[in-house]
Structure 1
Amino acid sequence: MVPDAEWVRIRRGLRFGQVFEGTVVNVPRPGVIGFFVDIGLAVGGFVDVALLPDQGEDWPAEGTVAEFEIWWADSRQQIRLKPADSRYLRRDFADYVERFRPGWPSEVGRPVPDPGSSVRR
């Protein structure tokens, strides 16, 4: 963990849809919880199971280098990512976005809100 002030500084530089090249560093339970990604910042990245294919064997393996987009950042010191490579997205990703994050296309490029802001995920 980094000091809160550092997290605030990092967050201020984040934009929805911003792309980072990252390395998958931990896939603790393929098909169950998601995986962790090192994107070269002092805080880690995480890809949630909800964005990934149903079958864990379709997820990138530890050590895979790929591009990831900023999907969300909440009060936790962790950047939520989505894979930029469609092979690593759930098959019905467009439908998922329509149901759960319909504002996503218009959010791309906007700053990630500060914790406690009224903007919802």
Structure 2
Amino acid sequence: MVTEAEWERVQGELRFGQVVTGTVVRVPKPGVIGVFVDIGLSVEGFVDVVLLPRGRNEDWPVEGTVTDFEIWCVHTGHQQIRLKPSDPKYLCEDFADFVAQYRPAWPSEIGKAVRGPKPSTP
């Protein structure tokens, strides 16, 4: 974990939907929790299982995969940057339906600072 000041600094530099390149560093339980991503910051990135292909663990990015991700949200309790895969092959098949149901404001949040009013997310 980083200091609160560092965490605030990192959040202040990020925007929802901002594209970052990252390297998948851990896939602890394929199909169960998600993947950890090094995005070159002092805090880690994480892609939640709900945003990855369902029922096809073999389609998940493997350790060492370098690809683009979008800033999805921040998890303050874990000091984690939550990411969404930019590449459709790593994204859940029903992403549009997922957004419509769980985060309908996502399109209007793109470009806004991650720090500030909290977006609704599962």
> Shorter-chain TM-score category?
over 0.9
Number of residue pairs matched by the alignment: 119
Gaps of 5+ in 1: none
Question: Which residue matches 1:51?
Answer: 51
Tell whether the 8 Å contact from 1:113 to 1:119 is kept in structure 2 after alignment: no
AA in 1 matched with 2:99: V
AA in 2 matched with 1:72: C
TM-score normalized with structure 2 length: 0.93
Tell whether the 8 Å contact from 2:103 to 2:120 is kept in structure 1 after alignment: no
Alignment of 1:2-81 (within 5 A): 2-54=2-54, 55-75=56-76, 76-81=78-83
Deviation at 1:74? 2.8
Query: Cα gap change, 1:109/1:63 in structure 2, threshold over 3 Å: closer, same or farther?
Result: same
SS of match in other structure, 2:20: strand
AA in 2 matched with 1:68: F
AA in 2 matched with 1:90: C
Deviation at 1:119? 4.3
CA deviation vs aligned residue, 1:36-82 (integer Å, no higher than 9, x gap): 00000000000000011112111010000000000000313100000
CA distance in 2: counterparts of 1:97 and 1:118, whole angstroms:
16
Tell whether the 8 Å contact from 2:102 to 2:120 is kept in structure 1 after alignment: no
Runs of 4+ in 1 over 4 A off after TM superposition: none
SS of match in other structure, 1:28: coil
CA distance in 1: counterparts of 2:61 and 2:110, whole angstroms:
24
Query: Cα gap change, 1:102/1:70 in structure 2, threshold over 3 Å: closer, same or farther?
Result: same
Gaps of 5+ in 2: none
